[in-house]
Amino acid sequence: MSIKVGIVGYGNLGKGVETAVLKNKDIKLIGIFSRREPKDIQSIFGKVLPYSTIEDYIGKIDVMILCGGSATDILIQGPYIASMFNTVDAFDTHAKISDYMQTLENICKESNTLSMVSTGWDPGLFSYVRVLSDAILPDGMSHTFWGKGVSQGHSDAIRRIEGVVDARQYTVPNEEVKTKIRNGEQLNISTYDKHSRLCYVVVEDNADKLLIEKEIKEMPNYFSDYETTVKFVDLETLRKKHNKLPHGGNVIRLGKTSEDNKDVVEFSLKLDSNPEFTGSVMVACARAVYRLSKENKKGSITMMDVPLTYFIDKDRKEIIKEYM
């Protein structure tokens, strides 16, 4: 029996989820819900529905996969849709995750639904790795590096500034610091000092560039704590030179099993398409949410709360035979 899913939002992430669904034979896409005019959207699947009709699909969709931006969309859509459906989202404003989860916890418990929040690769997959490596090497320190790559959430946050036509934000790791940590140096350094942010921005003809640059650099939870460079370009340049969406990163755990023995655990990603990979993670999470919902699990959860075997389309015997 297929797991019936819906996609809410059809930007880069929504397209990535759609691509991932096509690679999973146990997942069936029922519809793509968008605030844009459906007739103006060309999708692989073809069935694009008005966002306003989402309530008509109560009982017809097992899991809604929410692909809106974290800056504004998910904070509004997440609670609303979770009152009707099981959901998966990729909310990635790290500082607000706890409060957002509590909001969903209350709504899901009242509505008998289940929401897995902040999936994707960070937060999400990297969170899982940080917990596992910390559990194995409690005497140690973890370091996370992102990039160099295009951050979808940060790019979306810039696009929401008045006067901005389009934008790409690259997260750039400090390679010197990364090398030192890989070599076993214990550096007490913040995430902000490990990265810088590079923004390519297209603005309207009469836009105030100085004001837009100031708004970007002072944006809390996104840029205010980082060294941020803003470069204004024309739309043709952005589309020609920044049309790809690569990303990646590393989680590095430095630990000691004894005074004489040091250990380094590293997990890394190198992605040609950030949205397609994130979409692939979300589809696996939708499978896990469906299975947990059949066990009457309700509330808000993260990837870290779920046994690994719930994410894959294989039974326990297959998993043990193939992976042990």
Report pLDDT digits (tens) over 230-254: 999 999 999 999 999 999 999 999 9
- For the residues 165-172, what does the mean pLDDT come to? 97
List, in order of start, the domains of the chain with CATH numbers. 3-121+275-318 (3.40.50.720), 125-274 (3.30.360.10)
Per DSSP bridges, beta strands 164-173 and 195-203 are: antiparallel
In the predicted structure, residue 152 carries a pLDDT above the cut 90: no
What pLDDT shows up at residue 203? 98
Determine the average pLDDT of the residues in 148-154.
Answer: 92
What torsion do the CA atoms of 37, 212, 274, 243 make, to the nearest 10 degrees? 80
Burial of 166 (0-12, 13-18, 19+ CB in 10 A): middle
Q: What is the pLDDT of residues 176-204, one digit of tens each?
A: 999 999 998 888 888 788 999 999 999 99
First to last CA, the chain: 27
Identify the pLDDT of residue 190: 83
